[in-house]
Structure 1
């Protein structure tokens, strides 16, 4: 009887937690978005985006400084030309603007962001038929001020190193593949403190990125302080047969990093 009673208590305690982890987290009303909407979109009024693409992000982030956001096309007839990622309650809400080449259709794209407090993470997509918006509400705090994972000197020494991973083999009928690109960069937000001096570390982040396979554009990104340290991008693409990816990144200090990576790298 005691064992049954203990099991019942454990089940009763665990159920709300399990429910919370699996709950859907749609966008909620946001005064911040109302105030900033015109500055970001101008006169554009995006339609409901759930029928065109989906956005996946955790309801409760495990690490507020590295929150995965997955944007996946759900309407096969749409062509998503670009997306704008906005984190309503971040100090600099406009996280990234990403434009896509033809090889990225249908879109399946993941990036990682910082979330500074409980906030909507919204994505506005520009398509061949208009603009659409959807997103997720994420519970996280302190992502923009979280300490960097490396000593500043070590982080700067490794800055600009790049790594490519490929996943699986191409499907013969469509030549679709999946890849991940990681770029070493502290992406300082300007809100983090040096753990020795306790002074704020000046903002220093990748603000421009271009990724190509051979000569063909895959995507470009204009980014801000909300992109995570050591940015990671995972995406599906149509393989054009070129042997390499060419990646060019520029940061706010004017540093330019370029690297050509062979597609033979495997996950």
Structure 2
């Protein structure tokens, strides 16, 4: 509930100025300072060099599917990551809270970008410090871009999920309990944000979007994502799984998704092991 209050405060504050592709650096930095204060209050936000990096294309090929990558130098010391797309209608795109089954050294996902904008990724460490990385992305119209799928097909496939390995660390690292598995979660969901027009009826499609994604391995939390309308259609999230205590790596991975229509989707996955 508190997250919603913060988001509404951000929208009310930033909506008056609007997002404009022609904003200069001074205006962009002023927008970021307003957003930073709305989300973090008077807490100090430090330069993230050596702590967190944010990668995104300088000019996106598709504003509705902009790939971003967040890297953490010391993931064990980070308890949460905030992703902000400053000029979007709802700037706080998502907040990842990590658990003991996460290896958070790398996160990847895809987002919508409404106008030329700064993006920020903020790492919150276990001792409460905040560190920020910044990128500027040239993209526009991603929030109102029409869905790539027929609405009936999108609803028929709603909530279907896949979880697949995308890379494995070496056996030696795993044996030393420092290895990790990278996996990609694919969620079938149109993530309608209320800004997209149906090309046949010329009416706006009602908003229906993913709000929460919780991933666990056995009884241990990997991450809990509080999301909003800036995630792309059919969200894709690539993340790391820690290989810690004996037996943990054999436990199934369970994904639970909640959307704004109060629907819940849940599925468990048994991942193939190294050497199998």
Task: Give the TM interval when normalised to the shorter protein.
Answer: 0.7 to 0.9
User: Which residue does 1:52 correspond to in 2?
Assistant: 51
User: Which residue does 2:8 correspond to in 1?
Assistant: none
Distance 1:257 1:57, change over 3 A: same
Distance 1:51 1:66, change over 3 A: same
Paired with 2:42 and 2:118, the residues of 1 have a C-alpha distance of 21
User: Which residue does 1:244 correspond to in 2?
Assistant: 252
Paired with 1:157 and 1:90, the residues of 2 have a C-alpha distance of 29
Question: TM-score scaled by structure 2?
Answer: 0.82
SS at match of 1:102: coil
Q: CA deviation at 1:126?
A: 0.2
| Correspondences of 1:127-142 after superposition (within 5 Å) | 127-129=125-127, 130-142=129-141
Paired with 2:149 and 2:168, the residues of 1 have a C-alpha distance of 34
Question: TM-score scaled by structure 1?
Answer: 0.84
Paired with 1:136 and 1:168, the residues of 2 have a C-alpha distance of 26
The range that moved more, 126-135 or 245-254, is 126-135
Larger Rg: 1
Paired with 1:138 and 1:254, the residues of 2 have a C-alpha distance of 33
**Is the contact made by 2:187 and 2:234 (CA closer than 8 Å) also made in structure 1?**
yes
Paired with 1:171 and 1:187, the residues of 2 have a C-alpha distance of 36
Determine which of 218, 225, 231 is the counterpart of 2:222. Answer: 218
Paired with 1:83 and 1:147, the residues of 2 have a C-alpha distance of 29
| Correspondences of 1:185-204 after superposition (within 5 Å) | 185-204=189-208
Aligned length: 240
Q: CA deviation at 1:78?
A: 6.0
User: Which residue does 2:113 correspond to in 1?
Assistant: 115
Unaligned runs of 5+ in 1: 1-25
Q: CA deviation at 1:109?
A: 0.8
Runs of 4+ in 1 over 4 A off after TM superposition: 26-29
RMSD: 2.1
